[in-house]
Amino acid sequence: MLTPIAIAADHGGFELKQALIEALDARGYQTHDFGTKTNDPVDYPDYIRDVCRAVSKSWHGILICGTGIGMSIAANRFHGIRAALCHDTETARLSRQHNNANVLCLGGRVLTAEQAIEIVTVWLTTEFSGEERHQRRLDKIE
């Protein structure tokens, strides 16, 4: 069974969120949309808490704002969250392999839907390496 995915966006990421949900659902993932439900202006911090709570239950999380920067800054304030802002498949792969990222942050105004789908696919299918040097660094963060 595929890990459930909690996903949320502000108005800057709304269109990309909708495209990702459609693509992920078509691939058999169980997505849970925590908002926003329109492209009307909203405050991105209002959508992070529910995604981070879901991730604490061993879900994956995806957060999208205009650039992904605000979402990543805010999400990393939550205990146990390792949110990574990724703009390509290489950073997505490394965020999982080396950093065991559990939240992926994306920029709705800097990525096309096709780019984002590729990034998400790599991120979801890459496992943490578990290498001692990477785990040691994560332990220091905690």
* Catalytic annotation, residues: 65, 98
Rg of the chain, C-alpha, whole Å:
14
In whole angstroms, give the CA distance from residue 65 to residue 69: 8
Name every residue whose Cβ is closer than 8 Å to that of residue 40 and which is 6 or more positions away in sequence. Answer: 11
φ, ψ (nearest 5 deg) of residue 32: -125, 115
> Which burial class, exposed, middle or buried, applies to 131 when counting CB atoms under 10 A from its CB (0-12, 13-18, 19+)?
exposed
